[in-house]
Amino acid sequence: MIFFDVTKSGGAGHRSGLLRVSARLADELGDAVREVSWTSWDRRMSAGDWFFTAELFSEEERPGFSAFLAARSGRVAAVFHDAIPLKWPQITWPQSVARHPSYMKLLAQFDRVWAVSAASCAELSGFWRWQGLEQVPPLDVLALGADADRAPRVTGRVEAVRSKSLLSVGILEPRKNQALLLDVAETLWREGLDFELNLVGRVNPHFGRPLEKRVKAMAKKFPGLRYHAAASDAVVARLYADARASVFPTIAEGCGLPLLESLWQGVPCVCSDLPVLLENAKGGGCWPVTTNDRAAWTEVLRRVLTDDELAVRVRNEARSRELPTWAAAAATLRAALPEGLRAS
């Protein structure tokens, strides 16, 4: 049996990247898993069983977790996302900053761990070395899927791109760097370029309010700016269908699902040139831009909006390149947890 942890994802009212990872893996694993919540699970495991989690946790949040790891009769596996709370504490939720060191140290007691990117893999292994941990589990990369909502992939060559709409999906907060995007958009609107910028995402309650205030103030001056705080899947799909490109000026990521999900929708992505994003951007359909460089972003977005030949070429790259799927990610787990599958 594979006991699949849904302690947080089971009742969440929003769809953060972490929760989407857990939900999509559970979807694809299907009947191979039994969903459990730490607060109600009896924690009884046989020798061939696995406990699997893609969530964040700590002893403080889950009393008894350390004792469970020490005395478990089955085995435990996890997905590691990133070390952002350690690297960017000034713009990360205080609870996450406090939890993360103990969370990353607890992962060393697992039997198998997968990181969501090569960059995250290096962060976790580096943290374990820094902690002086000699006994650590096998650590591999799990390629996350681009197919966010099980919708068919958008493919097929295009001969023209007429849209003048840009789309940015992500929680409003300093890390996602919408402030840079607003700076660039204002410059281009003042130059006389006619385009839309659609922002989709809830507001980070700790750090996002000033950004939300700025978005609302700018929308009164520039009618091309539109904010969708709680867009449904159908609305997001429509915005992708209408977009010339997606824009992802983030300064820190574990994987960068918005880039992959944009490509699945057949929409090229203008993204920061973070190493973690380049892992997927190098396959085509993307414009990597120097992270946080306002002049570079202004130049690239100006060209994206005005160079129709370039827009066609990169859109066709996005629609024809190989992309990872959640089914493939689940298959990786199925191959690595065979005894748990047989027991189920």
Q: What is the pLDDT of residues 73-123, one digit of tens each?
A: 999 999 999 999 999 999 998 999 999 999 999 999 999 999 999 999 999
Q: What is the pLDDT of residues 55-65, one digit of tens each?
A: 999 999 999 99
DSSP letters, 176-217, are GTHHHHHHHHHHHHHHT---EEEEE-PBPTTT-HHHHHHHHH
DSSP state of 203: B
Beta bridge mates, 289: 272
Q: What is the pLDDT of residues 190-208, one digit of tens each?
A: 999 999 999 999 999 999 9
- Percentage of the chain beyond pLDDT 90 is 89
Query: 11 pLDDT exceeds 90?
Result: no
Q: Over the Cα atoms of the chain, what is R_g?
A: 21
pLDDT the model gives residue 114: 98
DSSP state of 182: H
DSSP state of 30: G
Beta bridge mates, 33: 2
Domains of the chain: 2-145+325-343 (3.40.50.2000), 165-320 (3.40.50.2000)
Q: How many CB atoms lie within 10 A of CB 106?
A: 18
Where residue 149 falls among pLDDT bands split at 50, 70, 90?
confident
Q: How many CB atoms lie within 10 A of CB 174?
A: 19
Helices and strands, counts by H and E, the chain: 14, 12
* Lowest mean per-residue pLDDT among 15-29, 163-177, 255-269: 15-29
DSSP letters, 219-238, are HHH-TTEEEETT--HHHHHH
State residue 114 phi and psi, 5-degree precision.
-120, 135
Q: What is the pLDDT of residues 285-317, one digit of tens each?
A: 999 999 999 999 999 999 999 999 999 999 999
pLDDT the model gives residue 344: 45
